Amino acid sequence: MTRVLVTGAGGMLGRDLLAVLRTRPDLPVTAATRAGLDVTDAGAVRDAVGGHDVVLNAAAWTDVDGAETREADATAVNGDAVVHLAHACAVSGARLVHVSTDYVFAGNAVEPYPEDAPTGPVNAYGRGKLAGERAVARLLPETGYVVRTAWLYATHGRNFVTTMLRLAAERDRLDVVDDQRGQPTWSYRLAERLVALADAALAGDAAPGTYHGTAAGETTWYGLARAVFALRGLDPDRVRPTTSDSFPRPARRPRYSVLAHGRWAAAKLPPPEDWHADLAEALSLPRPGTPR
């Protein structure tokens, strides 16, 4: 029986990974929360990985702006900790499926980034995540998988979608950025895809390397906000477009974060679904975070 370790199990994606794995009795899972496993501790990571066949790494420093002033701390989680995980997996023989980000790219493209596009992060968070990617490629050339995602949301926790719903109840009008393009990605759908990739990896159907785990299609934050309003029966015209300059942030954001999905077919896995359909399903759930 295949044993799975989920790191970052208390976070948004980690919670959804556990929800998906609960539907798979053939995949007994160990849930490692931040309190239970310090991924920056090489010895603790080695002990946690032992006895598992697959590690799904959802542990991450996600404070993009905070990373600008605490880059070493952010990289310790997003880069150095991945080195520890990869070393441990190399010793134990486990597959590692590591979640990365669109922020490894500069964001100046005009068409979707393929998996092998040149990287060029524009902020500290992206640099740390790129270090993690390189660790997987260097240490696990045959058993390491990197899955880049972007614009992740859920109906639980703090994210753009839940923030829009909260602000809709507090304000008559919302100004939302309309000059950054990306792919809104439902955390639960990504979790399903990560588990499917792990299955394919164990079956020998998925080649190691980098995959893009975003939804299909593209929009702006403004377009996503309007879609959230419409799906909840609210007037989308309450959302007004604005520019990134209106919301200065410590960390520079990529203006274009659309990713291509060419490698899934080779792994005998279906392409990602459209973001509109995923958002509609997510917002139709009977209670937050509970898949139907």
Kindly list the catalytic residues.
125
What are the distances in angstroms from CA 255 to CA 1, 140, 177?
Answer: 44, 32, 11
H helices present in the chain, as ranges = 12-21, 42-49, 64-69, 71-75, 81-92, 124-139, 160-168, 187-203, 221-231, 275-283
Q: Is the pLDDT of residue 291 over 50?
A: no
Angle of the 221-231 helix axis to the 160-168 helix axis, nearest 10:
60
What are 68-91's pLDDT values in tens digits? Answer: 999 999 999 999 999 999 999 999
The mean pLDDT of the chain is 96
What pLDDT is stored for residue 292 in this prediction?
Answer: 40
The mean pLDDT of 104-130, rounded to a whole number, is 98
pLDDT at site 118: 98
Tell me the per-residue pLDDT of 93-115, one tens digit each, with 9 for 90 and over.
999 999 999 999 999 999 999 99
Residue 147: is its pLDDT beyond 60? yes
- How far is the C-alpha of 125 from the C-alpha of 253, rounded, in Å? 10
Q: What is the mean pLDDT of residues 24-30?
A: 96
Q: Which residue has the higher pLDDT, 195 or 285?
A: 195
Task: Quick: pLDDT tens for 243-260.
Answer: 999 999 999 999 999 999
**pLDDT over threshold 50, residue 288:** no
Query: For position 289, what pLDDT does the model report?
Result: 43
Say if CB 212 and CB 259 are below 8 A apart.
yes
Residue 154, pLDDT above cutoff 90: yes
Q: Give CA separation, 189 vs 86, 196, 213, 259, 281, in Å.
A: 25, 11, 9, 16, 10
**Token pair of 252 as six digits:** 């520079």
Mean pLDDT, residues 215-241: 98
Enumerate long-range contacts of 225-229, CB under 8 Å, 24 or more apart: 225/160, 225/164, 225/174, 225/176, 227/276, 227/279, 228/161, 228/164, 228/165, 228/168, 228/279, 228/283, 229/164, 229/168
Q: What value does the mean pLDDT take over residues 34-43?
A: 97
Residue 1: what pLDDT? Answer: 87
Do residues 147 and 100 lie in contact, with contact meaning Cβ atoms separated by under 8 Å? Answer: yes
Q: Residues 6 or more apart from 146 whose CB is under 8 A from it?
A: 98, 100, 133, 136, 137, 209, 210, 211
Q: What is the pTM of this model?
A: 0.96
Task: Report DSSP state, residue 252.
Answer: P
